[in-house]
């Protein structure tokens, strides 16, 4: 019988067992097994002629507010239909086993919170916090669930109740700065941690992609969980090739935090 956790290096299991401060840094890949397309998966439907990077910009919203708002409403409908997966749940359980756990995500969904993680730092904002593109007034979605926008439908953004300008998604677009409080908390956590787990991110978007590098510079152990290689491979101490929903529960079990059969 093969060693139950042979895909988890013993040195990593020991580092997790001994860690006092752990940072879990996630990207779109951690929500993939919840059925949410990763950011760089080819866009389909009306958006197939755009790439996500081009749509996730203030310029795109200015010139095609209905395409950009339609895209985010389609993504928000996906998130509302989705459930947290075994990776989100294992990350939430991890908080019971380490003295300090910081969850820092680039994702704009709320699956970490719905799995039970608290104090999640959202570096790129949230689909659930739309605001006015002119006066910043927060906007409340009518009944919380978007009409089922079929893929590719253009939807005019609602008008701000206060000033009438178009409401925008509550996310950080390319060329926009990150929310200062989330970013400062993330940097502090990365520079003080013993172990940083980079899970489901292509490690290409800055400044978020700096976090594992800051943890390395501060002497922390860095492990990456991703079925594919990323620019972080060369510097991470451990590269676990596989799906987060499969590896995360095994990682907790390999550290003796819980029995292996946990879902
Ligand atoms: C800023 C919100 C300045 C919206 C997003 C040249 C060099 C360096 C930097 C730059 C440059 N030119 C421009 C920049 C800056 C730019 C940037 O980094 N560009 C990159 C592309 C080169 N950054 C910015 O513009 C940032 N702002 O710099 O501001 C500034 C400073 C002061 C004042 C004013 C301005 C803002 C960046 C934020 C952009 N917004 N999202 C939305 O979501 O629609 S970023 C976007 O990419 C997503 O949020 C996503 O989170 C993020 C990163 O992508 P990933 O999460 O990694 O997702 P991806 O699809 O790429 O990868 C998924 C991974 O999962 C893959 O590796 C896959 O293998 C893996 N996977 C798949 N399945 C699984 C899995 N892993 C585990 N399990 C599985 N089952
Ligand atoms: Zn307004």
| The 3-state secondary structure of 156-212, one letter per residue | CCCECCCCCCEEECCECCCCCCCCHHHHHHHHHHHHHCCEEEEECCCCCCCCCCHHH
Give per-residue pLDDT as tens, 76-131. Answer: 999 999 999 999 999 999 999 999 999 999 999 999 999 999 999 999 999 999 99
Q: Which ligand is nearest to the CA of 137?
A: 2
Please, which pLDDT band fits residue 4 given cuts at 50, 70 and 90?
A: low
Tell me whether strands 167-168 and 131-132 are parallel, antiparallel or unpaired: antiparallel
The residues carrying an active-site annotation are 124
Lowest mean pLDDT among 47-51, 84-88, 109-113, 168-172: 47-51
* Angle, in degrees to the nearest 10, between helices 86-94 and 244-254: 30
Q: Which of 128, 127, 141, 131 is nearest to 163 (CA)?
A: 131
Cα(167) to centroid(ligand 2), Å: 7
Copy the structure tokens of residue 7.
């895909």
For the full predicted model, state whether its pTM sits above 0.75: yes
> Domains of the chain, with CATH numbers?
1-36+84-125+178-263 (3.40.50.1220), 38-81+131-168 (3.30.1600.10)
Mean per-residue pLDDT of the chain: 92
User: Strand, coil or helix: what is 112?
Assistant: helix
Number of Cβ atoms within 10 Å of the Cβ of 87: 30
- Angle at which helix 180-192 crosses helix 210-217, to 10 degrees, equals 30
Of ligand 1's atoms, which has the minimum distance to the CA of residue 205? 18
When pLDDT is averaged across residues 172-177 and rounded to a whole number, the result is: 98
Q: Tell me the mean pLDDT in the region 190-204.
A: 97
Which residues have any ligand 1 atom within 6 Å of their CB?
27-29, 32-33, 38-40, 56, 106-108, 124, 171-177, 200-202, 204-206, 225-228, 230, 243-244
Report which of 203, 213, 252 is spatially closest to residue 5, judged by C-alpha positions.
252
Considering every ligand atom shown, identify the ligand nearest to the alpha carbon of residue 239 and give its number: 1
The mean pLDDT of 170-191, rounded to a whole number, is: 98
Ligand nearest to the CA of 165: 2
Distance CA 208, CA 25 (A): 9
Indicate the DSSP class of residue 131.
E
Q: How far is ligand 2, taken at its centre, from the CA of residue 154, in Å?
A: 22
The span from the first CA to the last CA of the chain, in angstroms, equals: 21
* Mutation probe of ligand 1 site: the residue of 168, 183, 201, 204 with most atoms within 8 A of C-beta: 201
Residue 207 — very low, low, confident or very high, per pLDDT cuts 50/70/90? very high
Which amino acid residue places its CA nearest to atom 64 of ligand 1?
Answer: 201
DSSP 8-state secondary structure symbol assigned to residue 23: E
C-alpha of residue 248 to centroid of ligand 1, in Å: 22
Q: Phi first, then psi: what are they for 26, rounded to 5°?
A: -120, 155
Reading the block at residue 93, the tokens are 């359980």
Query: What atom of ligand 1 comes closest to residue 41's alpha carbon?
Result: 60
């Amino acid at each position: 019988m093969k060693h139950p956790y042979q895909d988890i290096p013993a040195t990593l299991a020991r580092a997790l067992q001994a860690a006092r401060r752990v940072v879990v840094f996630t990207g779109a890949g951690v929500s993939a097994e919840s059925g949410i397309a990763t950011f760089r998966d080819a866009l389909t439907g009306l958006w197939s002629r755009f790439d996500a990077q081009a749509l996730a910009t203030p310029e795109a919203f200015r010139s095609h507010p209905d395409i950009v708002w339609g895209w985010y409403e389609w993504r928000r409908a996906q998130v509302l239909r989705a459930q947290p997966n075994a990776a989100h749940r294992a990350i939430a359980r991890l908080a019971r086993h380490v003295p300090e756990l910081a969850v820092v995500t680039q994702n704009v969904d709320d699956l970490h919170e719905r799995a039970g993680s608290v104090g999640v730092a959202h570096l790129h904002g949230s689909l659930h916090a739309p605001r006015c593109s002119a006066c910043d007034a927060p906007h409340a979605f009518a009944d919380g669930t978007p009409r089922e926008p079929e893929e590719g439908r253009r939807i005019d953004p609602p008008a701000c109740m206060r000033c009438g300008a178009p409401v925008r998604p509550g996310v950080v677009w390319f060329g926009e700065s990150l929310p200062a409080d989330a970013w400062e908390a993330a940097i502090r956590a990365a520079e003080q941690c013993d172990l940083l787990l980079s899970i489901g991110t292509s490690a290409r978007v800055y400044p978020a992609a700096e976090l594992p590098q800051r943890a390395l510079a501060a002497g922390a152990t860095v492990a990456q969980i991703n079925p594919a290689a990323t620019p972080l491979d060369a510097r991470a101490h451990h590269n676990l090739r596989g799906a987060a929903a499969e590896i995360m529960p095994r990682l907790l079990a390999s550290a003796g935090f819980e029995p292996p059969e946990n879902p």
